[in-house]
Chain A
Amino acid sequence: MFTPEVLEQSKTMKSKWEDEVKKIVAKNADQKPKWTTVSDLEIKRLYGPDDIKDMDFAKDIGYPGQYPFLRGNQATGYRGKYWTFRMFSGMGSAAETNARWHYLLQSGQTGLSTAFDFPTLMGYDTDAPKARGECGKCGVAIDTIEDFQTLIKGIPLAKISTSMTINPPATILWAMYCASAQMAGIGLDEIAGTIQNDMLKEFIAQKTLMCPPDPSVKLISDTVEFGTKYVPKWNTISISGYHIREAGATAVQELAFTLRDGMEYVEDVIKRKGLHVDQFAPRLSFFFNSHIDFFEEIAKLRAARRIWAKAMRERYNSQDQRSWWMRFHTQTAGCSLTAQQPYNNVIRTATEALAAVLGGTQSLHTNSLDEVLCLPSEHAVQIALRTQQIIAEETGVVNTIDPLAGSYFIEALTNEMEEKAWDYIHKIDEMGGMVAAIERGFPQMEISDAAYQFQKQIDSCEKIMIGVNKYNTEDKVEIPFLEIDETTERDQIERLQAVKRKRDSRHVAECLKEIKGACEKGENVMPYCIEAVKALATVQEICDVYREVYGEYRDPGIY
């Protein structure tokens, strides 16, 4: 990167600067001995040419739209199109969530993102004993395609892309989307969206669980295959680091585990489905967290693109540039927000959103100030959406692509994140892959260690959270609280029972039998799921088939 003369000059000047620093620090010590990121990665006082002297411009940095995509996938950056403003939302009934969606679209949101309640996420109907007390609390309750059609009422499916955060029952909710499109006369090749459908991170972090790892991965490969053949504009998986980070992982762990999960899926589809990597890899998408440590996040996102491009080209011999692109959504960090002094969360979210944009995200959710306490109120969501709009349209950070490239610090930190991530990836390779690593509790323990370490640092004030362990105040701030009352559950159970009364039960039973046969024979379940949801089979009825054939996975509670 630099001529020997420049490096020599830098060395002389650096040594002079170091002497000066020593003198000053001897008189006035630094405020603390060690300066680290939120992930406890030590940062130097200053970075210079010697920190990036070994980089090869063409090989390691390059241009946007060119390998290794450090500087972004799109040659035009944000000038052609901003990232998608995609606010994650869902609460109570399908009708309530539909109303929120229309409100968000009118407010300038450009994509939809669905939060389901816990029974839906775990594959239980609202009337299941295990579902009691949970209906509509953390998202929208969906039991049958009738609820689903209420959810998407008035949404132009061929124009708006919809993301669904759904994992164990992903085949079913996606089948509902596909069936709804077909019933409305819209072709499967016209609809666009994403299902999260990433089970490995569920075992590692988020814990919406159903079947054991291997059959879970099989169901995911079914969706990848079905999408490749019939729903070409759909992202059949969103390989997610978000929840890994929320569970307490460091930035490096989030990066490494997410990308290694992605590699596991690629390998499974190649092996199980016999597809060529370039037939499906262009539709793989990713999802990262943007935490409070500004530069660490920017470096992480830049490193993620470069690692993926290298892995696709070198590890899987991909020939298609579109497979090398890492396309990702970002959400600001829920775990960085505080219940204390909740209005401070607006500032945290804005900082994190800015990092995501400087890291080159394609899609963004900004958390609302009240999300640490309850489902977001309309007013709080509007502030969060406006945060993105202000970054896009006022701050000027979108004017030029990857504006921090070439910074000694950013490039050195990006390299460091990448090196440390590869170390983890190779370690997991040696264990026999991610499923094997999960089975021995490796990623779970690494995250658990990091989470405990962080909590101890907060308790000892080694790390600061404003309003939690510094600048605390006694007075409580009252914020409007969005509550889901008990009538939501009662009404939803009534709707479910009404559907069960009117449907052709014999036809439902036949459809479920077909799904069971497909599971047993190792066939792709998607076409059977689409027929079953059209016949008004419920989410749980189909999941019960999966649980019966594949077995049920229980959280081993590793800490």
Chain B
Amino acid sequence: MSERKIRILLAKPGLDGHDRGAKVLARAFRDAGFEVIYTGCHQTPEQIVGAALQEDVDMVGLSCLSGAHTYLFPAVTKLLKEQEADDITVVGGGIIPDFDMQAMYDAGLKAIFTPGATLDSICDWIRENIKPRE
């Protein structure tokens, strides 16, 4: 039996509509052989966690360019923990200033990809760090 593909939920939490990065990544992930679920803009943390559980994903990628990541990213990891689903890896991207990085890692995010990260470098990180769950 072939190995299960890595399943990724790409999500845009909050009211931010800057979805160019998320959509480009969705295509890159698909071309890299991952399974991608992209739920569109304006998702609440509750909707994101609900989708992650329902779709049984291995990783959640959050994208935020509005500055609201300080509230929204930790809200997602907290809810996952409450649902005992914190084995799902959460990563983030967007406009995340250096001085917010530590708070994001402290909140449980495993990686933050900022401007300049190439599509290949992000896909490589995923291959190295995410194993499809049984």
Min CB distance, B58 to chain A, in Å?
20
- Cβ < 8 Å to B, chain A residues 126-157: 129-134, 137-138
By a beta-carbon cutoff of 8 Å, the part of chain B in contact with chain A is 14-20, 22-24, 26-28, 38-42, 44, 66-68, 70-72, 95, 97-99, 114-116, 118-120
**Contact code string A441-453 (vs B, CB < 8 Å = 1, else 0):** 0000000100110
- Do the beta carbons of A134 and B15 come within 8 Å of each other? yes
Min CB distance, B111 to chain A, in Å?
17
Min CB distance, A345 to chain B, in Å?
12
Q: In the bound complex, what is the Cα–Cα distance between A130 and B71 (angstroms)?
A: 11
- Do the beta carbons of B119 and A131 come within 8 Å of each other? no
A-B contact count (CB 8 A): 109
Of all chain B residues, which has the CB nearest A454? B24
Q: In the bound complex, what is the Cα–Cα distance between A207 and B18 (angstroms)?
A: 8
- Do the beta carbons of A339 and B114 come within 8 Å of each other? yes
* Interface status of A246 (Cβ within 8 A of chain B): yes
Min CB distance, A520 to chain B, in Å?
26
- Do the beta carbons of A137 and B68 come within 8 Å of each other? yes
- Do the beta carbons of A133 and B71 come within 8 Å of each other? yes
- Do the beta carbons of A134 and B68 come within 8 Å of each other? yes
- Do the beta carbons of B14 and A456 come within 8 Å of each other? no
One of A40-48, A117-125, A231-239 at the interface: A117-125
Which 8 residue pairs across A and B have the least CB separation, nearest first? A133-B71, A557-B40, A207-B17, A555-B40, A118-B15, A137-B67, A133-B68, A559-B23
- Do the beta carbons of B24 and A118 come within 8 Å of each other? no
Q: In the bound complex, what is the Cα–Cα distance between A400 and B26 (angstroms)?
A: 48
Min CB distance, B82 to chain A, in Å?
17
- Do the beta carbons of A557 and B39 come within 8 Å of each other? yes
- Do the beta carbons of B114 and A134 come within 8 Å of each other? no
- Do the beta carbons of B41 and A451 come within 8 Å of each other? no
Contacts A138-B67, A246-B20, A452-B27 known; list 17 others, CB within 8 Å.
Answer: A118-B15, A130-B42, A130-B44, A134-B16, A134-B66, A247-B19, A335-B20, A339-B116, A340-B116, A452-B23, A455-B24, A456-B119, A459-B120, A554-B42, A555-B41, A557-B38, A559-B38
* Interface status of A258 (Cβ within 8 A of chain B): no
- Do the beta carbons of B42 and A209 come within 8 Å of each other? yes
Q: In the bound complex, what is the Cα–Cα distance between A129 and B46 (angstroms)?
A: 11
Among A448, A452, A459, A554, max chain B CB count under 10 A is at A452
- Cβ < 8 Å to B, chain A residues 329-369: 335, 338-340
- Cβ < 8 Å to B, chain A residues 409-455: 448, 451-452, 455
Of all chain B residues, which has the CB nearest A118? B15
Q: In the bound complex, what is the Cα–Cα distance between A147 and B120 (angstroms)?
A: 46
| Known contacts A338-B115, A456-B119, A459-B118, A207 near B41 by CB under 8 Å | yes
Residues of chain A within 8 A of B38, CB atoms compared: 557, 559
Q: In the bound complex, what is the Cα–Cα distance between A207 and B16 (angstroms)?
A: 8
Min CB distance, B101 to chain A, in Å?
12
- Total interface residues on A, CB under 8 Å, equals 44
- Cβ < 8 Å to B, chain A residues 505-559: 554-557, 559
Min CB distance, B72 to chain A, in Å?
6
- Do the beta carbons of A206 and B114 come within 8 Å of each other? no
11 example contacts (A-B, Cβ-Cβ < 8 A) are as follows: A118-B14, A133-B14, A202-B17, A207-B41, A209-B41, A338-B116, A339-B115, A374-B67, A456-B119, A484-B67, A557-B19
Contact of A556 among B14, B27, B40, B72 (CB under 8 A): B40
Residues of chain B within 8 A of A340, CB atoms compared: 115-116
- Cβ < 8 Å to B, chain A residues 195-211: 202, 206-209
- Do the beta carbons of B120 and A133 come within 8 Å of each other? no
- Do the beta carbons of A455 and B68 come within 8 Å of each other? no
Contact of B97 among A137, A202, A209, A373 (CB under 8 A): A373
Min CB distance, B9 to chain A, in Å?
11
Q: In the bound complex, what is the Cα–Cα distance between A138 and B65 (angstroms)?
A: 9
- Cβ < 8 Å to B, chain A residues 225-270: 246-248
Residues of chain B within 8 A of A129, CB atoms compared: 44
Residues of chain B within 8 A of A132, CB atoms compared: 68, 71
Of all chain B residues, which has the CB nearest A138? B66
Min CB distance, B112 to chain A, in Å?
13
- Do the beta carbons of A133 and B42 come within 8 Å of each other? no
Residues of chain B within 8 A of A131, CB atoms compared: 15
Min CB distance, B32 to chain A, in Å?
12
- Do the beta carbons of A555 and B28 come within 8 Å of each other? no
Q: In the bound complex, what is the Cα–Cα distance between A76 and B115 (angstroms)?
A: 44
Of all chain A residues, which has the CB nearest B73? A133
Residues of chain B within 8 A of A35, CB atoms compared: none
Residues of chain A within 8 A of B95, CB atoms compared: 339, 372-374
Min CB distance, A133 to chain B, in Å?
3
Q: In the bound complex, what is the Cα–Cα distance between A205 and B53 (angstroms)?
A: 29
Q: In the bound complex, what is the Cα–Cα distance between A285 and B115 (angstroms)?
A: 33
Q: In the bound complex, what is the Cα–Cα distance between A130 and B19 (angstroms)?
A: 18
Residues of chain B within 8 A of A137, CB atoms compared: 66-68
Min CB distance, A189 to chain B, in Å?
35
Q: In the bound complex, what is the Cα–Cα distance between A456 and B27 (angstroms)?
A: 11
Q: In the bound complex, what is the Cα–Cα distance between A445 and B44 (angstroms)?
A: 25
Q: In the bound complex, what is the Cα–Cα distance between A148 and B50 (angstroms)?
A: 38
Residues of chain A within 8 A of B66, CB atoms compared: 118, 134, 137-138
Q: In the bound complex, what is the Cα–Cα distance between A372 and B14 (angstroms)?
A: 19
